[in-house]
Amino acid sequence: MQTTGRAVLKGKGAARARAGHPWIYRSDVAEAEGETGDVVRVTDRAGRSLGRAFYNPHSEISLRIATREDEETDEAWFRGRIERALAYRESLGIDADAYRLVHSEADGLPGLVVDRYGDYLVLQIGSAAVERRLAWILPALGDLTAPAGVLLRGDAASRKKEGLPVGVRALSGEVPDLVVAREGPIRYEARLATGQKTGSFLDQRENHMAAARYVEGAARVLDVFTYAGGFALHAARTAERVEAVDSSGGALDAARRNAELNGLENLTCTRASAFDLLRERSDAGEVYDAVILDPPAFAKTRREVPRATRAYKEINLRAMKMLAPGGVLVTCSCSYHFSRETMEETLRSAAADAGRTMRIREWRGQSSDHPEVLTIPETRYLKCAILERS
C-alpha cells in the first residue's frame, strides 16, 4: 500500500497546507486521483510539493496531510510515528495507568486515537486510510506496548462520513467491558466498550488533580455535571464534604461505586437537573467553599455558540453567587467552538451580574498527553478556569 495517487490544491487549500493545517476540504481540491483510503501526493497548481495525505473523496475533509515531506508512508513510517508518540508520553511522567498514547493529528497520525487502560488499548479511527492499514498498526502497538487486548470503539457517528462501518469490536485478545483504572491516588471504573469516549474523560485527568489542590480543607464542595465522579472523587480526598450532581442515574451509580472503591465516605450523590439545582440553591442563598462545573459540550457547531454562551453564563453566574468569600470556582468547557476568549468574556459578564469579584488563579487546558499543535486550533478544545472569590 504505497502512495498511489495525487491531489492538486487550489490556492486556498495550498495556503492552508503551507500554514501547517492538515485538513484540506473537498472544495479546496482542484483535482485528485485515487481511491478511498489511498495515500496521495499533494501539490499546488504549480506542481510544488505539499506533502502526502490520506485521501477520501467522499468526506468533506477530503485530504488529511500526514507528512509535509515527500516520503513514503509505509509500514516503517507508521511504526516510527507510533514510537515517537509513545516516547513523548514516557517523557511526561504520567501518574496514571490510563492515558492517551496517540492523539491523531497532534502526533502526526491523522484519524488515529489510541488510549491505554492498564493492560488494554482502545482505538478510535476516523480515517479510512488508517483503518486500511490496521495490519501495520496493530503489530507495532503489540510490539511496543504488549497489550492483553485491543478494542476498536468504532461507534462514533463521524465514521459514517468516512464510509467506515459503525460498531465496537475486539481487534486482538479479549477485552473486558469493565476495568479499574488509576488516576493519581484515585481508582475508578471505566467501561471500555460502552462508556463515554473510550471509557473515561482522560483529557481531564490533570485538571481533576489540580482541583483537589484548590479545594483542600473546603467544608462544602458542589460538583455539578459529575458523570462518574471524576472531579468529585479527587475533591473528596482533600475536602470535608462533597456533593456530586448529575441528571443520569446510571452515572451517579458509577460515582457511588467509585467512591466505595476509594473508601470515600464524605461524597454524596444527588440526581437533579444541573440548571434547576443551581437556580434553586442560589435563590435559596446556599453557600459553598467550592463549586465545580464540567458540563457537556453546549456548542457542538458554530451556530450553537449564542445559545451555549447563555447556558455557560447562567451556570457560572449561579455558581459565583453561591461562593463564600475566598471560595473557588473550577469551571470547564469542552466546546471547541466556544473559544477561550468567548469563555473569558462570558465569565466576566457572569461575575459582573452576580456582583462578585473573581480573581483568576489559573487557566488550564486538556491533559498533556492530549497535546495542542499551534497550527491546528482544533487541538485546543478543553478550557478550565480556576477562579477565586476575593
* pLDDT tens for the 390 residues of the chain, in order: 555 799 999 999 999 999 999 999 999 999 999 999 999 999 999 999 999 999 999 999 999 999 999 899 999 999 999 999 999 999 999 999 999 999 999 999 999 999 999 999 999 999 999 999 999 999 999 999 999 999 999 998 889 888 899 999 999 999 999 999 999 999 999 999 999 999 999 999 999 999 999 999 999 999 999 999 999 999 999 999 999 999 999 999 999 999 999 999 999 999 999 999 999 999 999 999 999 999 999 999 999 999 999 999 999 999 999 999 999 999 999 999 999 999 999 999 999 999 999 999 999 999 999 999 999 999 999 999 999 999
Res 1: pLDDT: 53
Res 70: pLDDT: 87
Give CATH 3.30.750.80 domain extents, the chain: 75-179
Res 3: pLDDT: 59
Phi-psi bin for 243: left (phi > 0), alpha (psi -120 to 50), beta?
Answer: beta
Q: What is the CATH number of domain 75-179?
A: 3.30.750.80
Q: For residues 384 and 210, give the distance between their C-alpha atoms in angstroms, rounded to a whole number.
A: 10
Residue type, 233: L
Report CA torsion sign: 302, 307, 311, 312.
positive
Q: Angle at the Cα of 181 (from 362 to 140), degrees rounded to 5?
A: 100
Residue 165 DSSP class:
P
Give CATH 3.40.50.150 domain extents, the chain: 201-389
Give CATH 2.30.130.10 domain extents, the chain: 5-67
Q: For residues 331 and 340, give the distance between their C-alpha atoms in angstroms, rounded to a whole number.
A: 12
> What's the CATH fold of domain 201-389?
Rossmann fold (3.40.50)
Complete edge-to-edge strand list for the sheet that includes strand 98-103: 98-103, 112-117, 120-125, 149-154, 167-173
Q: Which sequence positions are flagged as catalytic?
A: 334
Q: Could you write out the DSSP letters of every residue in 81-102?
A: HHHHHHHHHHHHT-SBSEEEEE
5-67 has CATH 2.30.130.10 classification? yes
Q: Which pTM does this prediction carry?
A: 0.94
